[in-house]
Amino acid sequence: MSTLTIEKLTVGYGDGAPVLDGLELEVPDGAVVALLGANGAGKTTLLRSLMGLVPARDGRVLLDGADLTDLSTEDRVRRGLGLVPEGRSVVVELTVAENLRLGALWKKGRKNKGPAREAAVGQMYELFEPLARRRDAAGHTLSGGERQMLALARALVGEPDVLLLDEPSLGLAPLVVAQLLGVLRDQAAATGLTVLLAEQNVTGALSVADRGVVLSLGEVVADRPAAELAADPALRHAYLGF
């Protein structure tokens, strides 16, 4: 639904050396791009910086040509950008239903009114059966898989144009990962959602992505169609360590 453009993005912590140095990347409308790279490559930093959680030292972030650089996190969300942060970011004190309702409140610059909101939440229950069964359970009673499911559902229910995901498969059983990534791929195909998926699970990520981008030491070192990347042992070996 929207194109995300990253221009000369430089990000660092404190006054240390930049973690991302003049990064350039375009995620076209409707594309599913896998963001790969070893631990510490800067994937989380990039995604958090795109959301305005880590300030950029330099460069710009554009959504369909509109500059987001000076906007707060909340306003970026209201412009149609969404992030599923690393580590199953469910609000554990709230129930499943409340987490979903929270995700459905703000949608593309306007407040989602009651009936539309409930309908959107209902769709998520259809998509994620286990959540429907546990809708009144508090977040802290969910399993790891259910939490990540809820985090994804809560991001999808706000109908973002561009969805960023930070290692959603971390620490989850292969079956659960396959299910989550399957839903993500189907949703992207059905709605035209643009996806930037940071993963260390290279095989899983490349199986749902059209394109893979490899990040190393703050720069994009490879940018290829997913199938090509998956099939290139030299590249895998050099940058992904297997």
Partner 1 sequence: MERLVFLLSTGLARGAVLALFALSLVIVYRAARAVNFAQAAMAIVPVYVAFAVTAASGSYWFGLASALVVGALLGAVVERWLLRLVPQDNPLPGIIVAIGLVMVLQAGLAIAFGPDHRPVHAPFSQRPFEIAGVGVLSPYDLFVLVVAAVVMGALAILFNRTTIGLQLRAAAFAPETSRLLGVRVPRMVTLGWMLSIATAALAALLLVPTGLGLDPHAADVLFVNAFAAAVIGGLDSPVGALVAGLVVGVLASLVTGYASAATAPLAVLALLTVVLLVRPHGLFAAREARTA
For ligand ADP, which residue of 6, 31, 32, 45 counts as binding (CB under 6 A)? 45
For Mg ion, which residue of 2, 5, 44, 148 counts as binding (CB under 5 A)? 44
Task: Report residue 51 as tokens.
Answer: 């959301």
Whole-Å CA distances, 41 to 19, 35, 152: 8, 10, 23
* Number of chain residues interacting with partner 1 (CB under 8 A): 28
Q: Which does 140 bind (CB under 5 to 8 A by kind): partner 1, ligand ADP, Mg ion, none?
A: partner 1
Q: Which does 41 bind (CB under 5 to 8 A by kind): ligand ADP, partner 1, Mg ion, none?
A: ligand ADP
* Number of chain residues interacting with ligand ADP (CB under 6 A): 10
Which CB atom, from 43 or from 79, has the smaller least distance to Mg ion? 43
Residue 131 CA, chain-centre distance (Å), reads 20
Site residues, ligand ADP (CB under 6 A): 13, 19, 37, 39-45
Site residues, partner 1 (CB under 8 A): 51, 53, 72-74, 77-78, 82-83, 85, 89, 91-94, 98, 101-103, 105-106, 111, 140-142, 144, 154, 158
